[in-house]
Amino acid sequence: MKRTLSVLLIAVLLLVSCTVPAFAETGTVTATERAYIRSGPGLSYSEVSSIDKGKSVPYAGQTSTDNRGVKWYKVRIKSGYGWVSSNCARLSGTGSAAPKTSPNTTSGSIGTVMMTGSANVRSGPGLGYSMLDSFSKGNSIPYVGQSSVDDRGVTWYKVKIKSGYGWVSSKYARLSGSSSAAPKSTAPSANGNSGSKPTGTFQGEQFRLVVQGSSYTIYEQDGSVLQDGTVRSGSNGKYVLGSYEQDYFVVTSTSPMKIRLYLDGVLVGPLTKTSD
pLDDT bucket at 211, cuts 50 / 70 / 90: very high
Which pLDDT tens digit goes with each residue over 60-94?
Answer: 888 887 766 778 888 989 888 888 988 888 888 76
- What CATH topology corresponds to 200-275? Lipocalin (2.40.128)
- Say yes or no to pLDDT of 103 above 50: no
CA–CA distance, 101 with 29 (Å, rounded to integer): 16
At the second CATH level, the architecture of 104-176 is Roll (2.30)
Q: Mean pLDDT for the chain?
A: 76
Q: Which residues pair with 67 in a beta bridge?
A: none
- Residue spans of the domains in the chain: they are 28-102, 104-176, 200-275
| Superfamily (CATH) of domain 28-102 | SH3 Domains (2.30.30.40)
User: Which is more confident, 249 or 109?
Assistant: 249
The backbone torsions φ and ψ at residue 19, rounded to the nearest 5 degrees and listed phi first, read -100, -20
β-pairing, 140-149 vs 131-135, is unpaired
Supply the pLDDT for residue 178: 54
Which pLDDT tens digit goes with each residue over 138-154?
Answer: 888 988 877 787 767 78
- Say yes or no to pLDDT of 184 above 90: no
Do the beta carbons of residue 214 and residue 262 sit within 8 Å?
A: no
CA–CA distance, 147 with 102 (Å, rounded to integer): 9
Mean pLDDT confidence for 45-69: 83
CA–CA distance, 43 with 58 (Å, rounded to integer): 21
Are domains 104-176 and 200-275 of this chain identical in fold?
A: no
Ramachandran sector of residue 270 (left: φ over 0; alpha: ψ -120 to 50; beta: rest): beta
Supply the pLDDT for residue 45: 78
Return the SS3 of 53: coil
